[in-house]
Chains A and B, each alone.
Chain A
Amino acid sequence: MTLAEILASLFPEGHAVRVADGLVTGRAPFDGAEAAVIGIDGDTPLGVEGALALSRAVLDAVRAGDRVPILVLVDSDSQRMSRRDELLGLNECLAHLAKALLLADRAGHPTVGLIYGHSAAGAFIATALATRVLAALPGANPSVMDLPSVARVTKLPLERLEEMAKSTPVFAPGLDNMVATGAVHAVLDPARPLDAQVRDLIAGLPAEDVRDRLGAERGGRPVAQAVAAAVAAEARRG
Chain B
Amino acid sequence: MAAPMAAGTDPRALSWYEATARQRVAALADPGTFHEFLPPTERRMSPHLPLFDLPRAFDDGIVVGRARLDGKPVLVAAQEGRFMGGAFGEVHGAKLIGLLRAARDLRPAAVLILFDTGGVRLQEANAGETAIAEAMRAIAELRAAGVPVIGLIGGRAGAYGGGGLIAGACSRLAVSEGGRISVSGPEVIETNQGAEEFDSRDRALVWRTMGGKHRRLIGGADAFAADTVAAFRAAALDLIGRAPAFDLATLEAEQARLEARIARFGDCRDATEIWARMGVNDPDAVPAMTTASFDETVARVAEAHHDAR
Contacts and interface: CB of A to CB of B under 8 A. Distances in A.
Interface of A: 48-49, 52, 55-56, 59, 62-63, 79, 81-96, 98-100, 102-103, 106-107, 121-122, 124-126, 129-130, 143-145, 150, 152-154, 156, 164, 168-172, 177-178, 180-183, 209, 211-212, 215, 220-232, 234-236
Q: Is the interface of A mostly helix, strand, loop or mixed?
A: helix
20 contacts: A83-B193, A84-B266, A87-B268, A87-B274, A89-B215, A90-B183, A91-B159, A91-B182, A94-B183, A106-B140, A121-B183, A124-B129, A156-B52, A170-B48, A171-B126, A221-B130, A222-B90, A230-B98, A231-B64, A235-B37
B200 to A, nearest CB: 11
Contacts of B69: none
Interface in B272-299: 274
Contact of A232 (B44, B98, B137, B259): B98
B223 interface: no
A96 B75 contact: no
Given A95-B169, A145-B122, A212-B94, A129 B129 contact: yes
B199 to A, nearest CB: 10
A180 B169 CA distance: 26
Interface of B: 37-38, 44, 47-48, 51-52, 64, 66, 75, 90-91, 93-95, 97-99, 101-103, 105-106, 120, 122-134, 136-138, 140-141, 144, 159, 161-162, 164-169, 181-184, 188-189, 191-193, 197-198, 209-210, 214-215, 218, 220, 246-248, 251-252, 254-255, 258-259, 261-262, 265-266, 268-271, 274, 309
A147 to B, nearest CB: 10
Contacts of B94: 212, 223-228, 231
B258 A92 contact: yes
B90 A223 contact: yes
Given A106-B140, A224-B93, A171 B37 contact: no
Nearest to B103: A235
Contacts of B97: 212, 224, 228, 231
B274 to A, nearest CB: 7
Given A144-B126, A171-B126, A181-B126, A95 B167 contact: yes
B255 A96 contact: yes
Contact of B261 (A89, A143, A229): A89
B197 A83 contact: yes
Contacts of B47: 222-223
Secondary structure class of chain B's binding surface, majority of residues: helix
B136 A232 contact: no
Contacts of A84: 266, 269
Nearest to A102: B140
**Which of A86, A102, A211 lies at the interface centre, i.e. has the most chain B CB atoms within 10 A of its CB?**
A86
A177 B262 CA distance: 37
A176 B104 CA distance: 32
B137 A102 contact: yes
B167 A81 contact: no
B98 A183 contact: no
A225 B97 CA distance: 9
A228 B98 CA distance: 4
A151 to B, nearest CB: 10
B126 A235 contact: no
Contacts of A224: 90-91, 93-94, 97, 127, 131
Given A227-B38, A231-B94, A209 B127 contact: no
A220 B126 CA distance: 9
B247 A129 contact: no
**5 nearest CB pairs, A to B:** A95-B168, A231-B98, A91-B164, A235-B102, A144-B125
A101 B79 CA distance: 27
Given A144-B122, A153-B122, A235-B75, A125 B129 contact: yes
B109 to A, nearest CB: 14
Given A95-B136, A102-B136, A232 B99 contact: yes
A92 to B, nearest CB: 5
